[in-house]
Amino acid sequence: MTVVITGTSRGIGAGLAEAFAARGETVIGTTRDGQWPLDVTDPASQAAFAASLEQQPVDLLVCNAGVYLDKGHTLQDGYGPELWAQSFAANVTGVFLTVRGLLSNLRAAQAPKIAIISSQMASSERAPGGSYIYRASKAAVLNLGRNLAQDLKPESIAVGIYHPGWVRTDMGGAGGDISVDEAVSGLVDRFDGLSIGTTGCFETWDGRPHPF
């Protein structure tokens, strides 16, 4: 199985790359300046990355790359417009460009899957306030994933959207509920279980349906 994972320089992405490699899968892990360079916000970088795969079938695409730029901002003087643009470019447009760029590779696989890392902060039902940019971008990528699931279902490409847990990483902070290893183990199980029958799901790392 060939697995493409975006954003593998650290945190959950690095953990997922290690886990799939340990299983003997072929892992293509992207970073901005590594063996598989990719800036998800840059169409030219996306085109170069897709070309470098030379039509290799991709069984699983994990859209993990993302940013959280408005942590700690206040409503009174935070959330500058440039942060909205940067966040949506990475967290939403970047996912769309990656999926579109690798569609031919996914179509070449036997039972292709796309896993999109969103967050519980995407939920409209769970809305405690704050982190407006990050929440809005993760809600947008949840919506993107749900619509991709419908459009790609006739081609038997399954799409799942996932909350990885509050993980102790640079992004999640030291106060997170779970370790990277716990999140990765749960997410790998979720990806394994994803199918056309569950396409469009929004699930937690440990397998619970997440409220939209």
For residue 133 the two structure tokens come to 């940019």
Q: Which fold has domain 2-204?
A: Rossmann fold (3.40.50)
Q: pLDDT 10s digit of each residue in the chain, 212 long?
A: 999 999 999 989 999 999 999 999 999 999 998 899 999 999 999 999 999 999 999 999 999 999 999 998 989 888 999 999 999 999 999 999 999 999 999 999 999 999 999 998 888 777 788 889 999 999 999 999 999 999 999 999 999 999 997 776 555 555 657 888 999 999 999 999 999 999 999 999 999 999 88
Q: What is the pLDDT of residue 8?
A: 97
pTM over cut 0.85: yes
Q: Where are the domains of the chain?
A: 2-204
Q: What is the pLDDT of residue 170?
A: 55
* CA distance linking residue 28 with residue 36, whole number of Å: 7
Q: What is the pLDDT of residue 172?
A: 52
